[in-house]
Structures are given as structure tokens and as C-alpha cells.
Amino acid sequence: RVEDGVRIFELTAQEGSTSFLPGKESETWGFNGDHLGPTLRAERGEEVAVEVANELDEATSVHWHGMHLPPEMDGGPHQEIEPGGTWRPHWEIDQPGATLWYHPHPHGRTEEHVYRGLAGMFILDDAETASAGLPDEYGVDDVPVIVQDKVIADDGALELDSDGNEVGLLGSTVMVNGTVGAYHDVTTERVRLRLLNGSTARTYAFGFEDRTVQLVATDGGLLRAPVTTDRVRLSPGERAEIVVEMEPGTTARLRSFEPELGAVAAPFAVGANDSFDVLELRAASELAPSEPVASKLAEFGLAESDATVTRTFELDGRKINGQKMDMGRIDEVVEVGSTEIWEVRNVNLSPHNFHVHDVQFEILDIDGEPPPPDLAGRKDTVYLEPRRTYRLIMRFEDYADPTWPYMFHCHLLLHEDEGLMGQFLVV
């Protein structure tokens, strides 16, 4: 609803139960329902507020992943909501159109809260995304695709025991928007899928066996131009928008193929040989025409010459630069208005990724080489292939606050919970 020019959303975290597999009830958590949450949507320039209520038996929080907003509204571990409590963050949407998402971020408990089902999409619109020739009828040819994997026991219980797996739990049941064996009826020549890796640990390589797709957007919004590709690798927390062309009366299967994880020591243990169906697209016998995707999508770019500070981050086990997350310690202090380069390196021979709150960054280079086209856009989360150095450039435009920090962390949520996270202030 809109009140006094503010778009107001309501989210209530609650317990529920979901039948993912026939005859099995799983205890799940959801926002405003049994599992997952509604898609929130707002336009650049809009004032928004969210009334968040916590009806769970334990504290939670809601973080707006990818959103540029004041740190006090960020929903990290410093903004936990006690059971029975409410929280009302508000901010102005001040960033390009993009596919963002929201999820809990309670200290040390993020993995389970997301795994149980607390997550949803937050779509931002602006003039640039509206004029890019992309399919945009929500639920028809513009479809949210939240991909998650779980382990469902014989009695329906959601297992979250990762059996000592280094990355966390790799599920044996994959679901899209909470549905196992999901399909979508396609009625147009082109369909836009907003892919979100909402898993806690698994990295996917999305694609089709029989066709390429056009990758049009990554975490923070449109690419400069569409990229034709056959695989889209997404680690936990990352998003991508793809446009798929369909022929009348045919089906196409979105799958996850064996992901390229880089130089990991035990690739099979972390999902590198897993491939499976994700979503079936079923085209009607007649398809309405779709506009072609524009050949130029967006203009943006941060200049390396504007960067005044370089910081280095080494991810090792559950530590960043030798330290585990400490709620009482500020790790970095950034000057408001500055552009910085963050050099990030995963020194382990196993997967990590890196997520920064508040900003969208660009990848300057990976081991000195320019990023591949699919990583050349605006990002807030990036997969870190082992033993490679990713140089990220980002600008901390505004929202100086000497009290409330933002987070940076690995988005493999077990790692985050176990300490692979740090805090920065913008002052």
C-alpha cells in the first residue's frame, strides 16, 4: 500500500508446513505464509518502508541483499528482531533497476533461517530497465526463479546436517520457488528468467542442453550489452537475468550442469559433478511475439583512477585477514564519497564467495586479466575461485554513520555463521 507517498510492505516471519514431496510434510518458515515470501517491487526514486514482524520463537532479522541504503536499515545482525517484535526500516530506492532479494541475517543463525524458507525477491524498476526490450509481464514472461536445494528425510523433516561437508549442506532435492519438479507455461516467444541462487551452499551452472541464452543482467542490474552464453554460474546469493527463446509447442529444460569451481582440491565433494533439471518451460502451440532484446542495455563504470584506497581481504577457513567475525569490532572504516579497490583472495582449495553490503561493485580484474563478459557487470556477490585475486572497485556514495556498520562476508551461509564475516563503517 502507499501512504503519504511511501510504499509500505508488510512481512511477517512465521512457522508453517510445506509438502515438497507427495505425502511428506516439512516444517518450514516463511514470510506471510508457510514458505518463502512475497516478491516486493519498487521503483527508483520511491520511498519505501517495511513493517517486519517476527512470529518465530527466536530472534531473526531481514536483510535487503543488494540494496543501497543506510546501515541502520540494512537488516544485518545489528538489527535483530526479538520474538514477538517488529521493526520498520525505511529508505529511498536510489539505484538502478535490478533483481535483489531479502533474507534473514541473525548472528550465527543465517544458514538455518534461509534454509527453512525465509527468503524472497525484491525487484527494482527504473526507466533504463523498462526500455531495454526485455519481457516484463510478471509471472507471464518475466518470471522469478528462486533455486534452492534441501535434504528431505523420510518423515519430511528438513535435514540441515552437512555431514562435515566443507561448503555446508548440498541438498538432494532441488526446488524452484519452493516447488519440486517445477514447470512454467510459456505463451510468448521470449521469456525472461530472474535467477536467484537462494541456496545456502551449492553453486549452480544454469543452462539448456539445446540452446544458448542471452544474459542481460547480473546482481546489480543490466549488463552493458547482452551476452550470449550456454552456462550461467551462480554461487549462493548471486542473481542473473536471462532471456530464453522458445519455439511454439516445444519444451525446454533449464538444468544445472557441472559447475566450474576452479582449483578446488575435492571437487566432487562440493558439487562439481552434480547436474540435474531445475525448471521445465512448456511453450504453447502459438506464442505471442516478443520484442528483441536491445543490443545496448546500460551505461555505467567506475574509473580505477578515482580509487583512493586499496584494501586486501584474504579468506581462509572461517577467517578474513586472520580474524573471525566479532560484533564488537569494526574491521574497516571507509570515508564517505570515496571510491575504493578491494583485493579479495580465497586462499583455500575449496569454494568461498564474497558479498559486500550497501554497494554494487565491478570486477576490475582477476589475477590481472579483465573479467569474462558475464562478470563485467554490477555485482554485490562474486564467486572466488581458489587462489585467484579478484580486484573489485566500488564507490561509497553516501549514508555516513559512525554507529552502524555494514557487513562483508562469504555467502556460503555455514561459513558466514561460523565467522567468515567482517564489518565496515562508512563515516
Per CB under 5 A, residues contacting Cu ion are 352, 410, 412, 415
410 binds, among ligand C2O, Cu ion, none (CB under 5 to 8 A by kind): Cu ion
CB of 304 to ligand C2O, least distance (A): 26
Q: Cβ contacts of residue 192 below 8 Å, gap of 6+?
A: 134, 135, 136, 141, 142, 143, 216, 241, 242, 243, 244
Measured CA to CA in angstroms, residue 324 lies from 41, 103, 416 at distances of 35, 22, 10
Which residue, 239 or 345, is less far from ligand C2O as judged by CB? 239
Which residue, 26 or 197, is less far from ligand C2O as judged by CB? 197
CA-CA distance, 165 to 365, in Å (whole number)? 30
Which residue, 103 or 233, is less far from ligand C2O as judged by CB? 103
CB of 29 to ligand C2O, least distance (A): 16
Q: Cβ contacts of residue 268 below 8 Å, gap of 6+?
A: none
CB of 17 to Cu ion, least distance (A): 31
Under the binding rule (CB under 6 A), the answer on residue 357 touching ligand C2O is yes
Strand 362-366 vs strand 389-395: parallel, antiparallel, or unpaired? Answer: antiparallel
Single-letter amino acid, residue 390: Y
Which residue, 64 or 257, is less far from ligand C2O as judged by CB? 64
Under the binding rule (CB under 6 A), the answer on residue 379 touching ligand C2O is no
Residue 120's nearest CA partner among 16, 196, 186 is: 196
Q: Helix or strand or coil: residue 313?
A: strand
357 binds, among ligand C2O, Cu ion, none (CB under 5 to 8 A by kind): ligand C2O
CA-CA distance, 125 to 142, in Å (whole number)? 13
Under the binding rule (CB under 6 A), the answer on residue 105 touching ligand C2O is yes
Q: What is the DSSP letter of 200?
A: S
Which residue, 191 or 421, is less far from ligand C2O as judged by CB? 421
Single-letter amino acid, residue 329: R
CB of 75 to ligand C2O, least distance (A): 9
Q: Cβ contacts of residue 411 below 8 Å, gap of 6+?
A: 235, 236, 237, 238, 353, 354, 355, 381
* Grid cell 542495455 in the structure block, residue: 297
Residue of 20, 29, 31, 65 that binds ligand C2O (CB under 6 A):
65
Separation of CA 253 from chain center: 22
Which residue, 34 or 316, is less far from Cu ion as judged by CB? 316
Q: Nearest 5°: phi and psi at 79?
A: -120, 45
CA-CA distance, 378 to 239, in Å (whole number)? 11
Under the binding rule (CB under 6 A), the answer on residue 351 touching ligand C2O is no
Which residue, 35 or 352, is less far from Cu ion as judged by CB? 352
65 binds, among Cu ion, ligand C2O, none (CB under 5 to 8 A by kind): ligand C2O
Q: What angle do CA 262, 239, 310 make, to 5 degrees?
A: 65
Under the binding rule (CB under 6 A), the answer on residue 409 touching ligand C2O is yes
409 binds, among ligand C2O, Cu ion, none (CB under 5 to 8 A by kind): ligand C2O
Q: Taking CB under 6 A as the criterion, which residues in 215-254 touch ligand C2O?
A: 237
CA-CA distance, 390 to 129, in Å (whole number)? 28
352 binds, among ligand C2O, Cu ion, none (CB under 5 to 8 A by kind): Cu ion
Among the residue ranges 115-123, 271-279, 281-289, 407-415, the one whose residues contact ligand C2O (CB under 6 A): 407-415
Which residue, 77 or 207, is less far from ligand C2O as judged by CB? 77
Which residue, 171 or 236, is less far from ligand C2O as judged by CB? 236
412 binds, among ligand C2O, Cu ion, none (CB under 5 to 8 A by kind): Cu ion
CB of 164 to Cu ion, least distance (A): 15
63 binds, among ligand C2O, Cu ion, none (CB under 5 to 8 A by kind): ligand C2O
Q: In what order do the strands lie in the sheet with 98-103?
A: 40-43, 120-125, 98-103, 63-65
Binding site for ligand C2O (CB under 6 A): 63, 65, 103, 105, 237, 355, 357, 407, 409, 411
